[in-house]
Amino acid sequence: MNAQRVVVTGGAGFLGSHLCERLVGEGAEVVCMDNFLTGSPHNVEHLLGRPSFRLVECDLTGFVHVVGDVDLVLHFASAASPVDYMRLPIETLKVGSLGTLHALGLAREKGARFLLASTSEVYGDPLEHPQRETYWGNVNPVGPRSVYDEAKRFAESLTTAYRNSRGADTAIVRIFNTYGPRMRPHDGRAIPTFIRQALGGEPITVAGDGTQTRSVCYVDDTVEGILTLARSGFEGPVNIGNPAEMTVLALAETIRDLVGSRSPIRFVERPVDDPEVRRPDTSLAAARLGWRPRVDVVEGLRRTISWFARELRGPGELVDR
């Protein structure tokens, strides 16, 4: 399917803004819906003059209405970084539940395909490694991260119920850690934190002893995977992420080297329920979508660092929007 008119919820956030940009570039008409809770109009301001782009301030947990036809709903509204969702626990549960209900309702009303942005966090602190889509996860339902993990698990269940009982055309993508330009320097995620600290000459704060692993995917690869899934008939769930796994300490050191910084590494307390390992098994994405990540971590980090270096005014003046 070549979507003509696309609604992107959470379109003013990090991933959503890249999706909007790519879709507009490909000739689609885009309605970006966002309440700017963790995103900003600044992320899409370069698209505002385009006749095919519309930014609508709207809280997905309330009344949702779009005039005209819609072919595809990409549901990305939700706080995503642990710092954000622990600061906004009820908002996160509400957008994962009510927000998903309303986005599904919109897709159904318009006869549109619906794609849910789910997450590797549905696997929790995984007992299976790497994680395949068939793994059910290891989530603490009353732990501090549960507001996000359980909201996404509920959203997956709701999406599946709409598909099975209402005949909705749906897809679920489980996105693994993605990074790139337009992440907020203070959003608490490892890569923007390390880059901000390295550029500012501050100590780089690594949680625990840094031996926990992450697999990080450059945003262009993630966007390509999401849009390939959206345009396929596949329902998923399907993992999208980069299987190249590295320790958090190695990530910090790589960033420090690429920045050319002399920042020391400082080990800080590890957050509760922080996953020990994280690596997607992407064989399903390769087999069903022909997708695989193309940007290696050094190249992706280089691009991200140069964006941050341009955006941040300089040492001592680091700002967040």
Binding residues for ligand NAD (CB under 6 A): 9-10, 12-16, 34-39, 59-61, 76-80, 84, 95, 99, 117, 119, 175, 177-178
Question: Which C-beta is closer to ligand NAD: that of 242 or that of 261?
Answer: 242
Cβ at position 199, least distance to ligand NAD in Å: 20
Q: How far is the CB of 312 from ligand NAD (least distance, A)?
A: 17
Closer to ligand NAD by CB, 72 or 263: give it: 72
Nearest-approach distance from CB 151 to ligand NAD, in angstroms: 9
Specify the DSSP class assigned to residue 203.
P
CA gap 295, 25 in Å, rounded:
20
Other beta carbons less than 10 A from residue 29's beta carbon: 20
Per-residue H/E/C for 102-152: HHHHHHHHHCCEEEEEEEHHHHECCCCCCECCCCCCECCCCCCCHHHHHHH
* Tokens standing for residue 1: 């399917």
Shortest approach of ligand NAD to residue 236 CB, angstroms? 13
User: Catalytic pick from 85, 123, 148, 218?
Assistant: 148
| 148 catalytic per annotation | yes
Beta-bridged to residue 30, according to DSSP, are 6, 53
Q: Is 213 helix (H, G, I), strand (E, B) or coil?
A: strand
Cβ partners under 8 Å of residue 257, min gap 6: none
Q: Which is nearer to ligand NAD, 96 or 200 (CB)?
A: 96
Helix (H) or strand (E) holding 172: strand 170-175
The CB-of-201 to ligand NAD minimum distance in angstroms stands at 26
How far is Cα of residue 80 from the mean position of the Cα atoms in its chain? 6
- Tell me how far apart the terminal alpha carbons of the chain are, to the nearest angstrom: 36
The nearer residue to ligand NAD, 53 or 76, going by C-beta atoms, is: 76
Quick one: which H or E segment has residue 174?
Answer: strand 170-175
Q: Which is nearer to ligand NAD, 177 or 263 (CB)?
A: 177
Catalytic center residues: 148
